[in-house]
Amino acid sequence: MNDSVEARELLYEGKAKKLFATSDPDLLLQYFKDDATAFNAKKRGTIAEKGVINNAVSEVFFRLLEREGVPTHFVRRLDDRRMLVKRLEIVPVEVVVRNVIAGSLAKRLGLDEGKPLPEPIVEFFYKSDPLDDPMINAWHVLVLGMATKPELDRMVALTLRTNAVLRPFLAARDIVLVDMKLEFGRHHGEILLGDEICPDTCRFWDSSSGEKMDKDRFRRDLGRVEEAYQEIARRVGA
Amino acid sequence: MNDSVEARELLYEGKAKKLFATSDPDLLLQYFKDDATAFNAKKRGTIAEKGVINNAVSEVFFRLLEREGVPTHFVRRLDDRRMLVKRLEIVPVEVVVRNVIAGSLAKRLGLDEGKPLPEPIVEFFYKSDPLDDPMINAWHVLVLGMATKPELDRMVALTLRTNAVLRPFLAARDIVLVDMKLEFGRHHGEILLGDEICPDTCRFWDSSSGEKMDKDRFRRDLGRVEEAYQEIARRVGA
């Protein structure tokens, strides 16, 4: 059945991906662009072949997670830049899980970047470009009706499970999973992990040198951005 | 014993209060000033007799809460501007409970001020002037060691109980309790409600007119600030 899926109209164009309808109402086509943005699109650029790498790296992670019991929207990778995914009704909450202090956590709380946390910290952000994705908490999610209690509990459990699966997988490849942003959606009543998992949405640090191997190289103008993305792909076997 | 308590050295001077040691190591003296600040002290001023009103209003609320099973640091009011309180080891987390959308919630999430919430929303903020009291969540509190899980659970339960006690008390006096900020501390291993509960730390709206009767009159230059504080004191019987 999937073999005969045809791309139809563009449903949505985001900062890094396009989403197309297909001939199957349950499936969408996710197209990975090379466009890179940061600071809520105040900074814009291109990272050569980023789309190809993020598609391939996401495939590796989604396949691994599915094997480890995390249901995802991944169906299969179609080609270099296109992934077939299950259609999700997106929950407007980004879930971030952190293992090491970095980025906005360091800045907001005046903490030193690089300090490992004794346990993961989970954070929620309301997906809204005009509002700059403000931080929210579980009460906002529930009382403002963004998700139900069972849905939110499931999202948190899947986030912690995803972190618990990817951390050792990456550590074995000399990569520290510093933090990552996950998105979830509803598909026939079930919560699935959606979006992508890649150097755009995670912080990856080299275990020995501590060197950044993710979008922070673009955000902070550190240079060798493409090389870092390629090295992540190489190490995870994408 | 309390009758013989003597004020000793100044321990701390905050924006609205001073805290003195006393001859009893378990007790402190809280002195209420007329100084008013807003936007993390970027705006400064004075509200005539504010200290007297906040001391008296806080006494009314603390006595009511103690009767209703919420343990507080309140011992007794000594005079116009001084309250005897139990010494607390302050938990560096401000707890906000909201019944109606207003203030930072409206701004952060792009919501209309004045909309009642179907259930209360609880928020946590890290007490830090240099960081502008950033919003945090339960994971930050626990993983960064600001409080233990039993302590945080107790703080949330006491916050919801405080809200459930004060809302109808105020409603019966034609006052809507829109939101309030609470602070807690440890006293001989027990979590007690601390600080003050007054028009500086709560949003109070007149039930009929919707008129603001709290520090927003100062923050937003609405005029008749002193009159609003006095009217709150009158209505609650302070």
All structural domains of chain A: 10-86 (3.30.200.20), 89-224 (3.30.470.20)
Three-class SS of residue B203? Answer: strand
Does the beta carbon of B137 lie under 8 angstroms from any beta carbon of chain A?
Answer: yes
* A137 vs B: CB within 8 A: yes
User: Alpha-carbon torsion A4, A9, A11, A15, what sign?
Assistant: positive
Per-residue DSSP letters for B130-194? TTT--EE-HHHHHHTTSS-HHHHHHHHHHHHHHHHHHHHHHHTTTEEEEEEEE-EEEETTEEEE-
Tell how strand A43-46 and strand A74-79 pair up. Answer: unpaired
CA distance A73 to A85: 5
For residue B11, pLDDT over 60 is answered with yes
Q: pLDDT at position A6, please?
A: 85
DSSP 8-state code for residue B40: T
**Closest listed residue to residue A27, CA positions, set A50, A8, A45:** A8
B130–A138 CB contact, under 8 Å = no
**CA dihedral defined by A166, A169, A170, A176, rounded to 10 degrees?**
70
**Phi, then psi, of A3 in degrees rounded to 5:** -65, -25
Output the pLDDT for position B7. 86
User: Tell me, what's the pLDDT at B2?
Assistant: 52
Average pLDDT over residues B24-28: 97
Phi, psi of A127 (to 5 degrees): -70, 105
Residue in chain B closest to A134 (alpha carbons) equals B108
List chain A residues with pLDDT less than 70. Answer: 1-3
pLDDT value of residue A1 = 44
Q: How far is B161 from chain A (nearest CA, A)?
A: 16
SS3 track for A93-126:
EEEEEEEECCHHHHHHHCCCCCCEEEEEEEEEEE
CA distance B60 to chain A (A): 29
Confidence of residue B5 (pLDDT cuts 50, 70, 90): confident
Residues of chain A contacting B137 with CB distance shorter than 8 Å: 122-124, 135, 137-138
Residue type, A210: G
Average pLDDT, chain B: 96
ipTM of the complex, rounded to two decimals: 0.95
pLDDT for A114 = 97
Whether this prediction's pTM lies above 0.90 is answered by yes
For residue B1, pLDDT beyond 60: no
pLDDT tens for A49-87 read 999 999 999 999 999 999 999 999 999 999 999 999 999
pLDDT at B41: 85
Q: CB B137 to CB A134 under 8 A?
A: no
Contact B132/A at CB under 8 A = no
**Do residues A174 and A207 lie in contact, with contact meaning Cβ atoms separated by under 8 Å?**
yes
Identify the band that residue B161 occupies on the pLDDT scale cut at 50, 70 and 90: very high
Distance (Å, whole) CA A46 – CA A192: 29
pLDDT tens for each residue of B130-151: 999 999 999 999 999 999 999 9
Residues of chain A found within 8 Å of residue B107, distances taken between Cβ atoms = none
Q: Nearest C-alpha of chain A: how many angstroms from B68?
A: 25
> What pLDDT is stored for residue A7 in this prediction?
86
Q: For chain B, give the longest Cα–Cα distance.
A: 53
Under a CB-based contact definition with an 8 Å cutoff, are residues B78 and B29 in contact?
Answer: yes
Looking at the predicted structure, is the pLDDT value of residue B175 above 60?
yes
Q: Which residue has the tokens 């309301």?
A: A126
Handedness of CA B198, B109, B140, B138 (dihedral sign): positive
Among B109, B140, B142, the residue with its CB nearest the CB of A131 is B109
Q: Note which residues in 50-109 of chain A have CB less than 8 A from chain B.
A: 108-109
Q: How many CB atoms lie within 10 A of CB A237?
A: 9
Q: Do A128 and B110 touch (CB under 8 A)?
A: yes
Among A92, A143, A238, A71, CA closest to B117? A143
Q: What is the pLDDT of residue B3?
A: 61
A140 reaches B (C-beta below 8 A): yes
Q: Across the A/B interface, how many CB contacts are shorter than 8 Å?
A: 63
Q: How far is A208 from A176, CA to CA, in rounded Å?
A: 9
- From the candidates A100, A108, A122, which should be mutated to test the interface with B, based on the most B CB atoms within 10 A? A108
